[in-house]
Amino acid sequence: MNKLLKILSVIAFSLFSIVNVNAAEKWDMPMAYSATNFHSQNGVMFADAVRIATGGEVDITVHPGGSLFKGNDIKKAVQTGQAPIGERLLSAHQNESLLFGADSIPFLATSYEASDKLWKHLEPAIRKELDSQGLELLYAVPWPAQGLYFKKEVSSIADTKGVKFRSYNNATARIAELMGMLPVQVEAAELSQALATGVAESFVSSGSTGYDRKVWEHLTHFYEVNAWLPRNYVFVNKKAWKKLSKKNQDIIRGVAKMAEAAGTARSEQLSGWYLTQLAANGMKVQVAEGQLRTDLEKIGKTMADEWIANAGPEGKKVVDAFKAEK
Ligand code: PCA
């Protein structure tokens, strides 16, 4: 009897170990933007593809809309291991290193093609920087080009003085300053609230965020500037990454490449549609021209010069290589 129990416990123990070896890594993935946003939908497809391709061994659950961690807290949460994986706006970290803001230099890369080229030169530097912070870069997808939202007609920066402006990173706060506006940093998840309460009365973003946040309920004018295409990126805590088998790491890298291509294609496909939706909901959608365009280009030049002067040799190398390829 005793012998039988011993044998049974050995069998039970080995079964337990086998199950344990194959147990799924369950990863929660905080994302900052709404569930219906294309970045979030792409994140869900990425998670599904990883689950399928790893035979269920890596099981990622997406938490959009800042529901698990607010946008501003996602990187810290992943760095400290509170979440193994997450997504964040890359340029939100330009206060840590200007390199993170290379995709938000006004008028440097203003189309999807240019954005891809810039990313090709920027990606290795970002990967290295993130690695030194204990993070593994997986993929990055651009937002549609950025334009300006107001609740009045604006013909030049003379019309923007004193306007309360919602910023989403240092570059957008600097734009506000240079346009004589008053910047206040607000996450996209809280944008409708900020507009409704008058905390902000204008902002710079894509048609995507204007559409997601139904900003026609508060604002009236959208000016297409095509100033830059900032990226969201998905990254993993290195310790969590190292716990995966080499095979699963390779699978996830492959799926990440597909997610980057699919998300970028989706962003481009939707970019024009978002603007038609703004117009269909009553906004005046127009191209920034004349004095407004001239003023914005001047501000863009100031900001590009400031970036190059402060980003150090590595930043300069990225921008030079991008320009040389143009
Ligand atoms: N939407 C994000 C960042 C860039 C964009 O198009 C936002 O406004 O927060």
Tens digit of pLDDT for each residue in 178-208?
999 999 999 999 999 999 999 999 999 999 9
55 pLDDT above the threshold of 60? yes
Please tell me the pTM assigned to this model: 0.93
pLDDT digits (tens, 9 = 90+) for 221-276: 999 999 999 999 999 999 999 999 999 999 999 999 999 999 999 999 999 999 99
| Whether pLDDT at 300 is above 90 | yes
Q: What's residue 264's pLDDT?
A: 98
| Mean of pLDDT values over 51-72 | 98
Q: What is the mean pLDDT of residues 80-88?
A: 98
Q: How far is the CA of 276 from the centre of ligand 1 (A)?
A: 18
Residue 2 confidence (pLDDT) above 80: no
CATH of domain 24-143+231-273: 3.40.190.170
- Both tokens of 225, joined, read 């500037």
pLDDT band at 64 (very low <50, low <70, confident <90, very high): very high
pLDDT at 15: 53
pLDDT at 20 over 60: no
Two structure tokens written together for 114: 């240019």
Residue 89 CB less than 6 A away from ligand 1? yes
Q: Over 90: is that where the pLDDT of 52 sits?
A: yes
Region 30-58 average pLDDT: 98
Distance of CA 139 to the CA centre of its chain: 10
For residue 315, the one-letter residue type is G
SS3 46: helix
pLDDT of residue 9: 61
pLDDT tens profile 261-277: 999 999 999 999 999 99
Q: What is the pLDDT of residue 12?
A: 56
- Confirm or reject: Cβ of 143 under 6 Å from ligand 1: yes
Please tell me if the CB atom of residue 209 comes closer than 6 angstroms to any atom of ligand 1.
yes
Confirm or reject: Cβ of 37 under 6 Å from ligand 1. Answer: no
**The two domains 24-143+231-273 and 147-228+275-325 share their CATH topology (first three levels equal):** yes
Give the whole-angstrom CA distance, residue 224 versus residue 150.
12
**Residue 10 is encoded by which pair of tokens?**
């050995």
Question: In the chain, what are the domain boundaries?
Answer: 24-143+231-273, 147-228+275-325
For residue 188, give the nearest of 232, 233, 242 by alpha carbon: 232
For residue 308, what pLDDT is reported?
96
- E strands, 143-215, are 147-150, 164-167, 182-185, 202-205
Q: Output the residue whose Cα is nearest ligand 1's atom 7.
A: 188
Strand 85-89 vs strand 231-237: parallel, antiparallel, or unpaired? antiparallel
H helices within the chain, ranges in order?
Answer: 2-22, 38-53, 71-79, 112-132, 170-178, 191-196, 207-212, 238-242, 246-280, 290-310, 312-325
* Mean pLDDT value across residues 105-128: 98
CATH 3.40.190.170 at 147-228+275-325, yes or no: yes
Ligand 1 neighbourhood includes 228 CB (under 6 angstroms): no
Distance 35 CA to ligand 1 centre (A): 14
More confident residue, 143 or 3: 143
Asked if pLDDT for residue 13 goes beyond 60, the answer is: no
Give the pLDDT band of residue 5 (cuts 50, 70, 90): low
142 lines ligand 1 (CB under 6 A): no
CA distances from 261 to 20, 142, 266 (A): 34, 10, 9
Amino acid at site 117: K
Q: How far apart are the first and last CA of the chain?
A: 80
Confidence bin at 301 (pLDDT 50/70/90)? very high
Question: Rounded to 5 degrees, what angle do the CA atoms 111, 173, 162 make?
Answer: 115
